[in-house]
Amino acid sequence: MKQSILQEIHDFSLFGEHTDRFEYIASGKDGDVYTRDNYVVKVFKDDGKSRDDGMKLHLLERSIYFPQVHAYTNDFMVSERVFGETFYELDGHNKDIRKQYETQINQAVIDAQNAGLYAFDLHNHNIMLTNDGEVRIVDVGRFSLEVDTLQLGFFKSLFGSSHRRHRKHKRRHHHSSSNHHYRRHSSSSRRHHHRHSHSSSYSSYSS
């Protein structure tokens, strides 16, 4: 990830600069989600309770079932973009598709447990099927940690622990509903201890 893009995302998230380069995707309980090229940027709300999403994804970096995180702080997180559709978009509230991919979902839960995380709140809105036919858990905001600590990523050393000041970018909620839930995220090669024949992808953080 280029330093120039990191700086651009930092300025957008904290100060509302470069708004024309970011596309609004969705809003959730804990933050607003945007895309920039092959990256997804989640800007946490000041009162958000899941501002440790980036640290959780860092713990899950060896699993192919979760998006790769590139940078994270208390204010925002940058992760890979995964292209695909949520289970909800494919199957509504039905459980048929969950049964079809039960093995992969169960393995994702095991991977989380091995990383010290306990997966719950897994529903059809935060599970995606990528364009390559792979399962991705796209929201780990409600995963619980064994130890409730927040470790900042390498952005802290780059920019310091600054507080958000006067964010000027506006929430653009007029986009079509088809964009809700981190759709469309790219895949990248991932390291995994039981790598099967899957590729990799990712998608949504708006819990």
Q: Which residue has the higher pLDDT, 17 or 176?
A: 17
The string of pLDDT tens digits covering residues 103-135 is 999 999 999 999 999 987 788 999 999 999 999
The string of pLDDT tens digits covering residues 1-15 is 888 999 999 999 889
Q: What domains sit in the chain, N to C, each tagged with a CATH number?
A: 3-179 (1.10.510.10)
Q: How many CA atoms lie within 13 A of 184 on its CB side?
A: 15
The string of pLDDT tens digits covering residues 144-171 is 876 543 443 434 434 444 444 444 444 4
Mean pLDDT value across residues 83-99? 92
Say if residues 158 and 75 touch (Cβ distance below 8 Å). no
The string of pLDDT tens digits covering residues 11-68 is 998 899 999 999 999 888 888 999 999 999 999 988 766 788 999 999 999 999 999 9
Task: Record the tokens describing residue 181, joined without a space.
Answer: 């839930």
**Those residues with Cβ within 8 angstroms of residue 145's Cβ, 6 or more apart along the chain or in another chain:** 52, 56, 116, 117, 118
Within 141-200, strands assigned E span: 144-145
Q: Which of 52, 51, 69 is nearest to 60 (CA)?
A: 69
Q: What is the pTM of this model?
A: 0.68
Comparing 68-72, 142-146, 182-186, the range with the smallest average pLDDT is 182-186
Q: Which of 57, 28, 58 is nearest to 44 (CA)?
A: 28
Instruction: Please give the mean pLDDT across all residues of the chain.
Output: 76
pLDDT score of 8? 94
Neighbours of 79 (CB within 10 A): 26
Q: Report percent pLDDT > 90 for the chain.
A: 49
